[in-house]
Structure 1
Amino acid sequence: MIEQNICFVVVYLAEALTAWQFFGELFSPRRPTWVRGILFGVGYGLAWLCFALDFVHVNVLIFAVCTGLILYIGYTVGIGKAALYAVLLSALMLGTEYLSMLFLGAFFDGFGQYKERFAVLILFAVFSKVLYFICTRLYVHIAKSREQESPVPNVVFILMLVTCLSSVFVITALIYICLELPSFSRAAEFWMIGCAMALLLGNILIFAAYQYIQQMNQRYMDLRLQQQKEQADRSYYKTLQEQYDNQRIMIHDIRYHLAAIKEMAEVQNGKVVANYVSEMERLPALQRRVQYCKDPVLNTLLIRYRDLCQERGISFSVDIRKCAVEGMDSIDITSLFGNLTENALEAAQGSENPFLEISLDVREAQKAWVLTIVNSCKEPPETSGMGFISRKQKRGQHGIGLMSVKRIMKKYKGNLEQYYEENDKTFHSVVVFPVNISG
């Protein structure tokens, strides 16, 4: 029956959308959005095709297997946890169907007609899927409240829950009408089925719209915080540069004083004083500060990360043949080098023989300057729809620095390539910009 197949396509679509929201709020994505969309389409499409077998246990098993594979392949979840949540969703799906059957059978004497009447069958399926959706939302709300990670506010959740329960009431009324009236025209049945399915999909899309708005707001806030951080970093490096300049002036003045003392000691035959002062002049604190490049902001940034690497036992090396960033704003230099170096430093920690290497040079043939950052990395970084992400504990911070880097890529018509070498366990970030960059 073509109409029945179409209706159950909508039912399985509702199940797929419910699982999409459920997984999206509890787990970080491992694959891009389009890949996860294909996984859901193939998985639930297979479950729909197997629905024709009409074996409850086989259908539940296929549903669980498809759900588990989607979760394991598409999200950053271990196989054990993926299996656990596949069983959980299968139990919720099966449980809400039996609960719907018991509830409707208790209130309506002729409910057994759902096996014979098309309209009652579809309304029953929609009724159970609304309950299934409500149960998943309750689980997500409780789980996220315990984790204190952006749960839906109670007032908003109650309003949405009332909307779902109102849909349950309306669908129950439609089932009652179907059972009380002996027959309907074909058009009337389709109108009732269409209204019930619209209610089902409408409830899911309301939550999806709210979730999307929350994600956009969170992303906007993260970008604002990133911009504030970049402004603060710029001020910090300028202040640090001033401190280094003042230190250089102070050291320069001290050298004059020491030269005078040395000369006076030699005139007075104070060989001991002369030798002592000569040794003082060779002290590291009185030597010139390291200069990696001519750009003061970039040079200060590199010195800071050199010091951080030394504190954490990470080998740090810089090779800058030509400083080719004169056309780049200082705030963009801070954002680009700061975000990439920070991620490299974070990834290098904990690895065997940790190191961080930075090189910058102009390739005359390609008329481009190339920045290469290589760091040790004991395991491959996580990935998302944006590419590689750091392993920060807070999920909301994933990928924000990379978003800033990509903004700079777009502004200066550059290109960023990142890849992980499994053989030597190193991570590479390669940035290419045209020589004559300008914002």
Structure 2
Amino acid sequence: MNIFPSIDFVYLFLLQLTLGLVDMILVARLYECLYDRPVISKGKVYVAALLLGAITAIVWRLLLEYYRPTSTPVATVISSFLLLPFYRKSNWLKKGLFSIVLFAVACFWLSSYDLIVTPLPHKNFWLIEVMVHVGFWMILATTGYIGRKRRQVIPTSIWVLLTAISIVSILVYFGMFYHIMSRERPYAYMIEIMVMLVLLFINIALFLLYERFAAFTEADRERYLLEQQLQLQNKYYQQLERLHGEIRTLHHDMRNHLNTAATLVSQGEQKALKQYLQEANFRIGSYEQAVLTGNPALDAIFNIKITELKQSGIAVETDIHIPRDLKITFKQVSTIFGNLLDNVQEACEALPEKRRWVRITLFYINQSLVISIVNAASKEVSTWDGFLPATSKTNRINHGLGLKNVLQEVEPNGSLHIESKPESFSIEIVLYGL
């Protein structure tokens, strides 16, 4: 097979190669827009994209006839899937859906363009080659603008629906393509162009629908978080009001306590005095806070949650060493510790009371807050959603939000590590720059 029958085809290949490399770079930029920063530097991603683009063009040139294009949007999209492992911050459901939709968009755009320009007389092949890529670049720019907020999560049922729409449209595409190519006059009917364009816009609209549903899900999460914070604040103020009332009563009765104790001593009632002092000590002990860090937000949440844990028969061990002026917000505290300690309580309540325990460790080093929470567990986690344990509850939209909300609060300036063992479950979090 003659790869380049004339010098013109060499120039055409170089043009196609250049356009294909631009395609690949723009797709890599789109992935960053949709899936957040890659795990390696952007420069390395772009080098990998250029290598993929060059290899794709050369391989197709060796396999196809000399007059066939070597760098098409469809070939670029398929090759670009090898870049997806670099974008680990996004969940695989989103990457799977968007990969299918992007492939469909590339197919519909290329076929629509081919059906439109091929029948035209006096064609400029160089201009046709450039314009198909320019149109693809505009589609990539539109897609990147739609997905610029990088929302990640939608309900699974909606994901299945959007994926099914795109897959069905691809099946329709292949059916139409086979029908068009098998007849004598492939470019005879305008209706096929209209169908291709409609399916193209439907698939582009799927990006928008994903963002809309993700926004609704995010708003629902924000509402859930707000309700959780309001409940914690309400509990805190109720507890504070109760403690203040009890302390006022204690101060008011303190003289009577002292007089009673003095009377019992003078009368030699040692047994009665001992019992009385034990009762007084119990009352005074009930006013003490479970944790006193000097940070109002941490003290509020910890004392509420640790009280609830102890009421559930859970042995609580704390080791907390943090500065009083720690720059952590009430939202961070309530989201992280509220959710984690709720999970601890739920996990321990599934165990016999003798096996219920939790160890909470906090320390501050190098402007970073290190958090470690280890609790008893009934079994090792077997089902995971990414690197988070999957919820076993039926309402997965409202349940299972706890750890995801914690991760969302930690991710911008921190890290989270989870370890599950047959008899324990541990979470380690580091918050930087506090």
Q: Give me the TM-score of the superposition, normalised by structure 2.
A: 0.52
Tell me the residue number matched to 1:368.
Answer: 368
What displacement does 1:269 show? 5.7
Q: 1:421 to 1:330 in 2, by over 3 A?
A: closer
The aligned runs of 1:139-150 (5 Å cut-off) are none
* Structure 1 letter corresponding to 2:193: G
Structure 1 residue aligned with 2:240: 241
Percent sequence identity over matched residues?
Answer: 15
Residues 222-272 of structure 1, C-alpha deviations (whole Å, 9 max, x = no match): 213322432342243133233223323433443432111122344456666
Q: How many residues align?
A: 290
Distance change in 2, residues 1:382/1:303 (3 Å): farther
CA distance in 1 between counterparts of 2:222 and 2:242 reads 30
Partner Cα separation in structure 2 for residue 395 and residue 199 of structure 1:
34
- Supply the distance in 2 between the matched residues of 1:360 and 1:379 (Cα, whole angstroms): 25
Q: How does 1:4-43 map to 2 (within 5 A)?
A: 32-33=92-93, 36=96
The DSSP-based 3-state class of the residue aligned with 2:394 is coil
Please name the residue that 2:258 is paired with.
Answer: 259
Cα 1:124/1:34, change in 2 over 3 Å? closer
| Structure 2 match to 1:339 | 339
1:248 partner letter: I
The alpha carbon displacement at 1:419 in A equals 1.8
Cα pair distance change 1:289/1:367, threshold 3 Å? same
CA drift of 1:218 comes to 2.9
Q: Is the 8 A contact 2:322 2:363 kept in 1?
A: yes
Distance 1:328 1:427, change over 3 A: closer
Superposition pairs of residues 107-186 of structure 1, within 5 angstroms: 122-123=175-176, 184=185, 186=186
Ranges in structure 2 where 5+ consecutive residues have no aligned partner: 1-63, 66-72, 78-89, 105-154
| Mapping 1:212-227, distance limit 5 Å | 212-227=211-226
For 1:388 and 1:323, the matched residues in 2 are separated by 32
Per-residue deviation, 1:415: 0.8
Are the equivalent residues in 1 in contact too, given 2:317–2:360 (CA < 8 A)? Answer: yes
Measured in 2, the distance between the counterparts of 1:188 and 1:239 equals 77
State yes or no: 1:357 paired with 2:417.
Answer: no
> Do the aligned partners of 2:312 and 2:345 also contact (CA within 8 Å) in 1?
no
* Equivalent AA in structure 2 for residue 405 of structure 1: V
Deviation at 1:393, TM superposition (A): 3.4
Q: Which amino acid aligns with 2:273?
A: A
Q: What secondary structure, in the 3-state scheme, does the structure 1 residue paired with 2:373 have? A: strand
1: CA distance, partners of 2:372 / 2:381: 18
Structure 1 segment 34-433 matched on structure 2, within 5 A: 36=96, 122-123=175-176, 184=185, 186-189=186-189, 191-203=190-202, 209-210=208-209, 212-267=211-266, 273-283=272-282, 286=285, 288-293=287-292, 294-323=294-323, 326-350=326-350, 353-363=355-365, 366-377=366-377, 378-380=379-381, 382-384=383-385, 387-388=388-389, 390-398=391-399, 400-402=401-403, 404-406=405-407, 408-409=409-410, 414-422=413-421, 425-433=424-432
Matches of 1:314 and 1:266, distance apart in 2: 39
Taking the aligned partners of 1:227 and 1:347, their CA distance within structure 2 comes to 24
- What are the Cα deviations for residues 178-219 of structure 1, in whole angstroms up to 9, with x where unaligned? 9xxx964x4335x44333333445556656644542332232
The answer (yes or no) to whether the contact 1:292–1:302 under 8 Å persists in 2 is yes
Per-residue deviation, 1:360: 0.8
Residues 404 and 221 (structure 1), Cα distance of their counterparts in 2 relative to 1, 3 Å cut = same
State the AA in 2 paired with 1:236: K
How far residue 418 of structure 1 moved from its aligned partner, in angstroms, is 2.0
Indicate if the aligned counterparts of 1:237 and 1:300 stay in contact, CA closer than 8 A. Answer: yes
The CA deviation at 1:374 is 1.7
Q: Which has the higher contact order (CA 8 A, sep 6+)?
A: 1
| C-alpha contact 1:297 1:330 (8 A) present in aligned 2 | yes
Partners in 1 of 2:325 and 2:275 — Cα distance?
A: 43
Q: SS in structure 2 opposite 1:319? A: strand
- Three-state SS of the structure 2 residue aligned to 1:427 is strand
Distance 2:273 2:314 in 1: 39
* Structure 2 CA distance for partners of 1:314 and 1:281, relative to 1, 3 Å: closer
Partner letter of residue 427 of structure 2? H
Partner letter of residue 396 of structure 1?
I
Q: After the TM superposition, which of the residue ranges 367-376 and 266-275 deviates more from structure 2? A: 266-275
What stretches of structure 1 of length at least 5 have no aligned partner?
Answer: 3-8, 14-29, 45-75, 78-84, 101-118, 127-174
Aligned pair in 2 of structure 1 residues 405, 275: CA closer, same or farther (>3 Å)?
closer
Counterpart code for 1:234: Q
The residue number in structure 2 matching 1:54 is: none
- Determine the C-alpha separation between the residues in 1 that align with 2:348 and 2:380: 10
Residues 223 and 328 (structure 1), Cα distance of their counterparts in 2 relative to 1, 3 Å cut? same
TM-score of the superposed pair, with normalisation by structure 1: 0.51
The code of the aligned residue for 2:230 comes to: Q
- Report how far residue 358 of structure 1 moved: 0.9
- Distance verdict in 2 for CA 1:200–1:345, change over 3 Å: same
Counterpart-to-counterpart distance in 1, 2:208 and 2:392: 28
Q: Do the aligned partners of residues 311 and 279 (structure 1) sit closer, same or farther apart at CA in structure 2, a change above 3 Å counting?
A: closer
2: distance between equivalents of 1:269 and 1:354? 44
Q: Summarize the Cα distance change of 1:374–1:414 in structure 2 as closer, same or farther, 3 Å threshold.
A: farther
Q: What secondary structure is seen at the aligned counterpart in 2 of 1:396?
A: coil
User: Are the equivalent residues in 1 in contact too, given 2:359–2:375 (CA < 8 A)?
Assistant: yes
Please report the RMSD computed on the Cα atoms of aligned residues, expressed in angstroms. 4.9
Q: Any conservation in 1 of the 2:419–2:425 contact (CA below 8 Å)? A: yes
Rounded to whole Å, the distance in 2 between the matches of 1:331 and 1:124 is: 55
Code of the residue aligned with 2:262 in structure 1: it is: E
